């Protein structure tokens, strides 16, 4: 049984408490490793290491930092098979998905910021004719990165790469539910020769390690992805210390299908946007609104294709859906299906847990579930479920569907299917969300601002937004 360690000051160390947490493989429902049950003392060690490393790291050139990040990207590619297997075992997602989505993107994150930092520029302002101003953008110092369990290495590196590229040192915490690829990233950083203390990983519970990072006065900036409730706790801890916060939180994303859409593309992509990663992506379109003229046609074809999805052993290449990430989360998702029935919904397909035979007989599996007949304003349609559950709701006019779409406390992403440009622009502009896809889903350009509004978060990741977040700006004015 493997006992992974914290990565602090360039080496692997045990938690000061000597205590460990069971790490369960959700596909088989069994413990397969142990992770440190660290606490604020371990965080303090990591902060001290990061502080000691910061002056030298901040003084390196962009070229030097770029070389380290590109080396890490290259090593992620080298170890991609091992990382993908670790991700699939830890999270329950199909191995094929871990290969094609998670690990490739983790390498891309390091590669993107390893090159972006070479092209970063800042402004100057000529106060004619008497002075010139220039903006100096400097690294903040020790920054905190806290990430969730749904896309473990993908989202972990999406924070760490820009933080390091900008010249900061990092104290990072992966989810205790999926710590393995973060641990393997530590090994990669050691192999890449990353100077000690530049990146430090502390494993453990959110209310202990995560809270300690959020409260630590020597960590002036926190980048977090996870649930809205946790985002509030981090904001409450950081606000009195005037910490810089980047919060990428939950979503309840509308997927809007107009009757003039390209039907085949809309149906095929909607199956993906509903159930990829067992529906455990903050960008999944969990509320599908279909214009009345094609409601029955879309419903029948969508349900037919969902029934063809195979829920199976994540290590089998033909599994479309793997295991839900934990027993607790599986119970949460199933409880929402029961709630939907109580709220008047009709389950068109799915709705139950899946009992597999053989290796995965004790795993956490749920059928992809489609429900219709609910009010757009009921709890099922207002709260984030974050699993293999979508609802279908008919609408008639643009105004009606914009009202439905904007009715939740969330505002992360939205998808619109229409061949009418005016409809596309008008609806996209009216939606309360940070990201809108038109006739596509999860088509990503890493240069674009990424984040949500309302309860979906604060700030933007991606592109130069992230480099701005991880730096402080100073304006210097020189009299001519």
Q: Which residues bind ligand TXE (CB under 6 A)?
A: 146-150, 173, 175-176, 206-207, 210-211, 214, 225-227, 230, 233-234, 248-250, 282, 384, 386
* Assigned token pair, 425: 């622009």
Q: What is the DSSP string of 377-431?
A: TSHHHHS---SSEEEEEEE-SHHHHHHHHTTSSEESEEEEE-S-HHHHHHHHHHS
* DSSP-derived secondary structure letter, 58: H
Tell me which of 145, 282, 284, 360 is the catalytic residue.
Answer: 282
254, 275, 269: which is closest to 367 by C-alpha?
275
Residues with Cβ within 8 Å of residue 480, at least 6 apart in sequence: 129, 130, 131, 132
**At 319, phi and psi to the nearest 5?**
-80, 125
Question: In this complex, which beta carbon is closest to ligand TXE, that of residue 98 or of residue 348?
Answer: 98
* Assigned token pair, 422: 């005016």
d(CA 138, CA 134): 13
8 Å CB contact between 277 and 435 = no
Question: In this complex, which beta carbon is closest to ligand TXE, that of residue 266 or of residue 385?
Answer: 385
Question: In this complex, which beta carbon is closest to ligand TXE, that of residue 142 or of residue 257?
Answer: 142
d(CA 64, CA 281): 34
* Assigned token pair, 262: 């390209």
SS3 394: strand
Is 301 marked active-site? no
Tell me which of 40, 96, 176, 248 is the catalytic residue.
Answer: 248
CB of 327 to ligand TXE, least distance (A): 13
Edge-to-edge, what's the strand order for the sheet holding 124-127?
A: 124-127, 131-139, 471-479
CB of 245 to ligand TXE, least distance (A): 11
CB of 479 to ligand TXE, least distance (A): 46
Question: In this complex, which beta carbon is closest to ligand TXE, that of residue 26 or of residue 114?
Answer: 26
Question: In this complex, which beta carbon is closest to ligand TXE, that of residue 187 or of residue 383?
Answer: 383
Question: In this complex, which beta carbon is closest to ligand TXE, that of residue 37 or of residue 176?
Answer: 176
CB of 122 to ligand TXE, least distance (A): 30
* Assigned token pair, 307: 């029934």
**At 115, phi and psi to the nearest 5?**
-100, -35
Question: In this complex, which beta carbon is closest to ligand TXE, that of residue 279 or of residue 312?
Answer: 279
Angle at 138 between CA 136 and CA 140, to 5 degrees: 145
Is 378 marked active-site? no
Q: What is the DSSP string of 208-224?
A: IIIHHHHH-TT--EEEE
146, 120, 156: which is closest to 243 by C-alpha?
146
SS3 41: helix
Question: In this complex, which beta carbon is closest to ligand TXE, that of residue 57 or of residue 156?
Answer: 156
CB of 211 to ligand TXE, least distance (A): 4
8 Å CB contact between 266 and 255 = no
8 Å CB contact between 111 and 77 = no
Residues with Cβ within 8 Å of residue 280, at least 6 apart in sequence: 93, 150, 324, 325, 329, 386, 387
C-alpha distances in Å from residue 139, one per residue of 159, 213, 254, 362: 14, 18, 37, 48
8 Å CB contact between 112 and 224 = no
Task: Give me the active site residues, please.
Answer: 248, 282
């Amino acid at each position: 049984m493997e006992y992974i360690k914290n990565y602090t000051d360039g080496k692997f160390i045990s938690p000061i408490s000597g205590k460990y947490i069971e790490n369960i493989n959700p596909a088989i429902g069994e413990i397969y490793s142990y992770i440190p049950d660290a606490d604020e003392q371990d965080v303090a060690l990591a902060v001290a290491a990061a502080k000691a490393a910061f002056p030298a790291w901040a003084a390196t050139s962009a070229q030097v930092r770029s070389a380290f990040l590109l080396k890490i990207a290259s090593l992620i590619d080298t170890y991609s098979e091992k990382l993908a297997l670790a991700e699939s075992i830890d999270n329950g997602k199909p191995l094929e998905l871990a290969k094609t989505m998670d690990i490739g993107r983790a390498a891309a994150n390091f590669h993107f910021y390893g090159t972006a930092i070479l092209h970063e520029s800042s402004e100057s302002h000529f106060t004619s004719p008497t002075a010139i101003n220039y903006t100096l953008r400097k690294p903040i110092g020790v920054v905190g990165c806290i990430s969730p369990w749904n896309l473990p290495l993908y989202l972990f590196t999406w924070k760490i790469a820009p933080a390091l590229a900008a010249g900061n040192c990092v104290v990072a915490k992966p989810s205790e539910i999926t710590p393995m690829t973060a641990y393997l990233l530590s090994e990669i950083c050691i192999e890449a020769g990353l100077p000690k203390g530049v990146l430090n990983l502390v494993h453990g519970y959110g209310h202990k390690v995560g809270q300690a990072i959020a409260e630590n006065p020597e960590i002036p900036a926190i980048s977090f992805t996870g649930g809205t409730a946790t985002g509030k706790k981090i904001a409450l801890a950081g606000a009195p210390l005037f910490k810089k916060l980047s919060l990428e939180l939950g979503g309840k994303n509308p997927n809007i299908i107009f009757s003039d859409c390209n039907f085949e593309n809309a149906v095929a992509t909607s199956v993906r946007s509903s159930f990829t990663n067992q529906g455990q992506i903050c960008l999944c379109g969990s509320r599908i609104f279909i214009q009345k003229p094609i409601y029955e046609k879309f419903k029948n074809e969508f349900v037919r294709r969902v029934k063809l999805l195979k829920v199976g052993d994540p290590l089998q290449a033909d599994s479309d859906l793997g295991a839900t990430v934990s027993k607790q989360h599986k119970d949460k998702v199933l409880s929402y299906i029961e709630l939907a029935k109580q709220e008047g919904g009709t389950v068109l397909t799915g709705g139950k847990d899946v009992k597999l035979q053989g290796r995965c007989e004790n795993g956490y599996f749920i059928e992809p579930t489609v429900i219709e007949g609910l009010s757009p304003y009921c709890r099922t349609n207002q709260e984030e479920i974050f699993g293999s559950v979508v609802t279908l709701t008919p609408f008639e006019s643009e105004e009606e569907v914009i009202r439905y779409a904007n009715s939740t406390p969330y505002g992360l992403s939205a998808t619109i299917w229409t061949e009418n440009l005016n409809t596309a622009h008008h609806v996209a502009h009216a939606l309360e969300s940070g990201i809108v896809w038109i006739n596509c889903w999860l088509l990503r350009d890493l240069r674009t601002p990424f984040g949500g509004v309302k309860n979906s978060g604060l700030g933007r990741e991606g592109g130069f937004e992230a480099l701005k977040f991880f730096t402080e700006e100073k304006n210097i004015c020189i009299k001519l």
